Amino acid sequence: MDQDAEKPATSGPPLPDIVKNGPPPPSPPPLKTGPPPPPSFGAPVIPPPPVPEVPPETNKEQSDEEVDGVAPFNTRVIAAVIDVVVALGLSIAVAMVLPSKIGYLLGMAYFVTRDGLPFLGGQSVGKKAMKLKAVTLDDRSLAGNWEPALIRGAVLAIPLFALVELFILLSREEKPERGRRLGDEWAKTKVIVVNEPVA
């Protein structure tokens, strides 16, 4: 038997780490900086079409008369009914202390001149309540402007002529002359909606 094989293995100097673990991993390549890559020559990218702005919806319940300033038919009728009640109340109140003829004349005088009374600002009681006002065609108030105020009011003092005016207003609802009765045409007036002042 070989004597060299029986000799115990002797420990030598420690091996370096490069031998134990192998060579270190290569470092990552440096980041490349420079101009951006040229654009591709494929299919062009089409941007989406702009979304059109939708205007806010207007109040569908708002009538055409309110948009262009002309007083609506129903509101004018209510204002007229209020003025009739005021004229009757004035006649009855005066007739309780004075002769009935004086009461009748005062009530009729209010009804005929109601849109020209300066102390009411050119608005009858009924029109004030319904936020309406009778003005000239160039938007001047009828307060103290007696000629157009008397013309448009006096025709209603004719018996049954108020029914004719009511029919005229109804028949003109879909026409350019809507909102103007015969008294308005003769007096060159119109009835408009009074806008509330902004606080």
Q: For residues 32-39, give the mean pLDDT.
A: 60
Structural domain includes residue 26? no
For the cut 90, the answer to whether the pLDDT of residue 40 exceeds it is no
Parent domain of 111: 66-193
C-alpha–C-alpha distance, residues 129 and 126, integer Å:
5
Q: What is the pTM of this model?
A: 0.62
Q: Which two tokens stand for residue 71?
A: 């007083």
Number of structural domains, the chain?
1
Structural domain includes residue 199? no
Structural domain includes residue 15? no
Structural domain includes residue 22? no
How does residue 43 score in pLDDT terms, banded at 50, 70 and 90? low
C-alpha–C-alpha distance, residues 91 and 88, integer Å:
5
100-149 per-position pLDDT tens digit: 899 999 999 999 999 999 998 889 999 999 999 999 999 899 998 999 99
Structural domain includes residue 56? no
The owner of tokens 């780490």 is 17
Using N-to-C axis directions, what is the helix angle for 146-154 and 100-113, rounded to 10°? 110
Q: Which two tokens stand for residue 86?
A: 């005021």
Structural domain includes residue 38? no
Structural domain includes residue 171? yes
Amino acid at 163: L
Structural domain includes residue 27? no
Q: Which of 143, 139, 155, 157 is nearest to 194 (CA)?
A: 139
Q: What mean pLDDT value characterizes the chain?
A: 78
For the cut 90, the answer to whether the pLDDT of residue 47 exceeds it is no
14-27 per-position pLDDT tens digit: 555 545 555 666 66
